């Protein structure tokens, strides 16, 4: 097959699947969390514990990602709640990405559980891309114990749209020649990057399906919705206008983000999410023996408007406490007190750097925190994330608003 071929790999129910795979690896006779109503969630004794992931059997109870754990437990008293284990997620993520790099000439990690693979020109190696995708997803299931969806197309946008079709453990194509039949009949809410408020604006214009948007007068869209309307119009017609895929880029940044269906409206909950994201990228940095000298925070509102800010650190670091303190400082300056749909954090200008530039007020704190993180990584890797807690972070979440 000639032309560009992009795979989008997406782990099904990643956090819950990673936990289930680990438990089954340790004890093949244990309960598979994916077969019962279950969640990955915060401590129910904490005021702001939220649901981070849910199983498919939890969906009939209308349990949603981002809602308070205590609310989810009321909906389903038999709900199984397991604590998050960020080191486990990083471990599985690294293992999966390393595995994919054994097959693909170019792998671009999109999030902790997603990646784009540029499979252009590999037909002579693996045969038909669709047939190979089926073999690849089956190999991943057998090797790691969790399933993935694989979307295939000429560009990132359509490949990601395809991977969101029927789940789990599926392969879907969405070539440009197929968008009229496969994508245009879908409701406008299913188009990538279209949120609740944007969808409402389209409905007010009489646009209810992706196909109706694709065939809309672009001048009218631009008049009513400006750039956002035109971007959505291009997406509906299969044009990739948001993703960049640098085949020569070196991984010099670490990022993670999460979208919550329920808007966040208080600083304490937002900072709990930021802590979760920071823990993940800090663990990845330490795993790679890397440090970053720049951190950034991105906030997306319900209308898909993004605001972001970055700051340079006094010295490059991979210490969770130092990264989290800077990220909270950025959040306090950036947030306008409005509802939050998505939060993202990143660390950039990553490099292997063993030199830490101390300041007059450090008093050995960096070295102590670095040793603490190393010790926590070892303990959590062996006994799980909930085996030890960072009391200073819990205090920050509860009191710093």
Q: Catalytic positions, please?
A: 114
Alpha helix segments (H runs only) across 43-195: 69-75, 86-101, 123-126, 129-144, 156-163, 179-182
DSSP state letter for 120: T
Contacts of 380 (CB under 8 A, 6+ apart): 85, 86, 87, 88, 387, 388
Angle, CA of 248, 119 and 174, to the nearest 5°:
120
Do 39 and 16 form a contact (C-beta atoms < 8 A)? yes
Contacts of 48 (CB under 8 A, 6+ apart): 42, 68, 268, 269, 272, 397, 398
Contacts of 169 (CB under 8 A, 6+ apart): 12, 137, 141, 147, 148, 149
Q: How far is CA 20 from CA 9, 40, 63, 139, 145, in A?
A: 19, 11, 19, 18, 8
DSSP per-residue letters across 204-258? HTT--BHHHHHTS-HHHHHHHHHHHHHHHHHHHTT---S----TT----EEEEEE
> Distance between CA atoms of 35 and 28, rounded to whole angstroms?
14
What does residue 342 show for φ and ψ, rounded to 5 degrees? -145, 145
* 3 state SS of 184: coil
Q: How far is CA 12 from CA 9, 92, 224, 313, in A?
A: 10, 13, 37, 36
- How many residues comprise the chain? 401
Residue 7, strand partner residues = 117, 152
Residue 308: name the closest of 320, 316, 300 by CA.
300
Question: Which pairs with CB-CB distance under 8 Å and at least 24 residues apart come from 367-370?
Answer: 369/319, 369/320, 369/321, 369/322, 370/318, 370/319
């Amino acid at each position: 097959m000639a032309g560009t071929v992009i795979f989008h790999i997406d782990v099904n129910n990643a956090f819950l699947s990673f936990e289930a795979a680990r438990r089954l690896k340790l004890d093949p006779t244990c309960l598979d969390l994916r077969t019962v109503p279950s969640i990955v969630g915060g401590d129910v004794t904490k005021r702001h514990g939220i649901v981070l992931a849910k199983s498919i059997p939890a969906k009939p109870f209308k349990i949603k990602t981002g809602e308070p754990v205590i609310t989810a437990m009321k909906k389903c008293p038999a709900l199984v709640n397991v604590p998050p284990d960020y080191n486990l997620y990083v471990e599985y993520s690294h293992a999966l990405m390393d595995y994919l790099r054994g097959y693909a000439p170019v792998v671009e990690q999109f999030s902790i559980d997603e990646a784009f693979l540029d499979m252009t020109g590999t037909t002579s190696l693996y045969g038909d891309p669709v047939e190979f995708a089926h073999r690849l997803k089956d190999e991943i299931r057998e090797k790691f114990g969790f399933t993935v969806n694989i979307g295939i197309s000429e560009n990132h946008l359509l490949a990601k749209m395809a991977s969101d079709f029927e789940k789990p453990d599926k392969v879907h194509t969405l070539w440009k020649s197929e968008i009229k039949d496969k994508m245009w009949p879908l409701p406008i809410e299913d188009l990538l990057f279209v949120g609740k408020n944007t969808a409402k604006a389209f409905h007010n214009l009489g646009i209810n399906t992706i196909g109706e948007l694709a065939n809309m007068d672009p001048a009218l869209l631009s008049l009513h919705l400006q750039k956002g309307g035109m971007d959505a119009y291009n997406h509906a017609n299969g044009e990739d206008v948001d993703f960049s895929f640098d085949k020569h880029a070196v991984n010099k940044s670490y990022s993670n983000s999460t979208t919550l269906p329920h808007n966040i409206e208080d600083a304490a909950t937002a900072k709990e999410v930021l802590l979760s994201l920071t823990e993940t990228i800090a663990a990845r940095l330490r795993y790679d023996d890397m440090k970053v000298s720049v951190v950034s925070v991105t906030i997306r509102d319900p209308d898909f408007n993004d605001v972001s800010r970055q700051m340079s650190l006094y010295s490059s670091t991979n210490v969770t406490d130092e990264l989290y303190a800077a990220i909270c400082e950025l959040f306090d300056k950036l947030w306008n007190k409005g509802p939050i749909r998505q939060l993202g954090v990143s660390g950039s200008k990553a490099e292997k750097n063993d030199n830490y530039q101390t300041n007059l007020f450090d008093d050995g704190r960096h070295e102590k925190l670095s040793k603490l993180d190393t010790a926590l990584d070892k303990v959590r890797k062996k006994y799980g994330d909930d085996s030890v807690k960072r009391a200073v972070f819990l205090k920050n979440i509860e009191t710093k608003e």
